């Protein structure tokens, strides 16, 4: 077996692990990070399959823009949750 074949097999196994990991993780932040790792591995696989145009697109959209949008959405959700928690606690009695 050639070194390239072994590398492809390792990357495919990591891809499967990432796909399963996204579904089994407990927090959304971990899921976003694993998703970004999945996209990065996919980018490497596209390069190995001699498809540089798809690799660039996967890197830009998959790991780049989508990851940033997911992280911004998580921050917005946490801000809203904190605002709701403050409103539900009500004014404090002195």
Tokens encoding 69: 């949008």
Q: Rounded to whole angstroms, how far apart are CA atoms 11 and 61?
A: 20
Reported as a pLDDT band with limits 50, 70 and 90, residue 93 is low
Are 74 and 28 in contact by the 8 Å Cβ rule? The answer is yes
Give residue-wise pLDDT tens across range 23-72: 999 999 999 999 999 999 999 999 999 999 999 999 999 888 999 999 99
Whether the predicted pLDDT of 91 surpasses 80: no
Are 67 and 38 in contact by the 8 Å Cβ rule? The answer is no
How much is the pLDDT for 86? 82
Q: Rounded to whole angstroms, how far apart are CA atoms 88 and 84?
A: 6
Tokens encoding 68: 């940033």
Task: Parse the chain into domains and list their residue ranges.
Answer: 26-79
| 53: enclosing H helix or E strand | helix 52-57
| 5: enclosing H helix or E strand | helix 3-24
Q: How confident is the model over 6-33, as a mean pLDDT?
A: 94
How much is the pLDDT for 90? 66
């Amino acid at each position: 077996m050639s070194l390239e074949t072994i590398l492809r097999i390792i990357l495919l196994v990591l891809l499967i692990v990432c796909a399963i990991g996204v579904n089994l993780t407990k927090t959304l932040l971990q899921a976003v990070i694993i998703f970004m790792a999945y996209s990065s591995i996919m980018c490497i696989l596209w390069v190995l399959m001699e498809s540089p145009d798809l690799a660039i697109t996967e890197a830009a959209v998959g790991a780049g823009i989508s990851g940033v949008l997911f992280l911004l959405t998580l921050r917005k959700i946490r801000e809203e949750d904190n605002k709701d928690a403050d409103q539900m606690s009500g004014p404090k009695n002195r």
